[in-house]
Amino acid sequence: MHCGPPDMVCETKIVAAEDHEALPGAKKDALLAAAGAMWPPLPAAPGPAAAPPPAPGPQPRGGPEGAGPPAGRGVCIREFRAAEQEAARRIFYDGILERIPNTAFRGLRQHPRTQLLYALLTALCFAVTGSLMLTCLVPAVLLALRYYYSRKVILAYLECALHTDMADIEQYYMKPPGSCFWVAVLDGNVVGIVAARAQEEDNTVELLRMSVDSRFRGKGIAKALGRKVLEFAVLHDYSAVVLGTTAVKVAAHKLYESLGFRHMGASDHYVLPGMTLSLAERLFFQVRYHRYRLQLREE
């Protein structure tokens, strides 16, 4: 089984502190201004009246790396630290577990052929048995099987991911050039994660592993994480940011579109790491893989 970093999913090394020092001031400001103009500003966080703007002069060394609260009061987005390995894995794990009921039930609406097959099986049961009671049980059994196989495949996917890139985030994302991993921190706790990985063959950056603790959603954290990846791509002169997702929730797709991503297509034949492609699995587990792209400049 191939267990590379899968695209199941999906809030500072945008530029590390030392990288900011290396960039000439005018060039750095111009790049960040260009990046900020490419996508809409985040909504203001609710709460007390905003603090007055900072006085003119040099900004803190961290620059746009989360020295202030970009996604809401008290939220800081910065580079991953090794001590946060377990917190990041927990957020990733919990976020993917939420896909089980979504894929099993809500995701069925994306697959009309499967719906038709289940309807035919229900009708066949009535034709064979003539029992209304047994026929009424068929949809419940089919949905139960969808949940079972969704759980089976997604847990296998998690096992794969937790033993590849998410097993050692420092080694996989923080050391290779063109890759990075960020965390959103609120009151000293990690509440969100996102990663970027360069694809040198086409000079793009892939956004992946985006997840926010369910208790802190709706605060703009996911959008802030996504924007950090976009800034990273602009500052490192990549031509585009790409991502792939099997997310069922409409909110996830609206988030990507709000960041400026363009939907490039979808496939019902994506093989998720952990799938065995058995007949039962084909009948009771389906995912739709969506591809998004944000073009930053023409090659």
CA–CA distance, 121 with 59 (Å, rounded to integer): 66
**E-state strands within the chain:** 75-79, 179-186, 189-199, 204-212, 240-245, 262-267, 289-295
Q: Is the pTM of this model over 0.75?
A: yes
So what's the pLDDT on residue 89?
A: 97
So what's the pLDDT on residue 44?
A: 43
So what's the pLDDT on residue 3?
A: 58
Say if CB 26 and CB 33 are below 8 A apart.
no
Task: Write the CB contacts of 212 (distance below 8 Å, at least 6 apart in sequence).
Answer: 11, 91, 95, 184, 191, 192, 193, 221, 222, 225
3-state secondary structure of 76: strand
Say if CB 84 and CB 92 are below 8 A apart.
no
CA–CA distance, 166 with 4 (Å, rounded to integer): 10
So what's the pLDDT on residue 8?
A: 46
Task: Write the CB contacts of 105 (distance below 8 Å, at least 6 apart in sequence).
Answer: 143, 146, 147
H or E element in which residue 150 lies: helix 132-162
So what's the pLDDT on residue 274?
A: 83
The percent of the chain in helix, strand and coil, each rounded to the nearest 5, is: 45, 15, 35
104, two tokens: 């099993």
Task: Write the CB contacts of 287 (distance below 8 Å, at least 6 apart in sequence).
Answer: 103, 107, 246, 268, 270, 272
Residue 206's DSSP bridge partners are 197, 242
So what's the pLDDT on residue 299?
A: 65
Q: What letter would DSSP give residue 214?
A: G
Per-residue pLDDT of the chain (299 residues; tens, 9 = 90+): 445 554 444 433 333 333 333 344 444 455 555 555 555 554 444 444 344 444 444 433 333 443 334 444 588 999 999 999 999 999 999 999 999 999 999 999 999 999 999 999 999 999 999 999 999 999 999 999 999 999 999 999 999 999 999 999 999 999 999 999 999 999 999 999 999 999 989 999 999 999 999 999 999 999 999 999 999 999 999 999 999 999 999 999 999 999 999 999 999 999 988 899 999 999 999 999 999 999 998 76
- Residue 79, Cβ density class (10 Å: 0-12 exposed, 13-18 middle, ≥19 buried): buried
So what's the pLDDT on residue 7?
A: 47
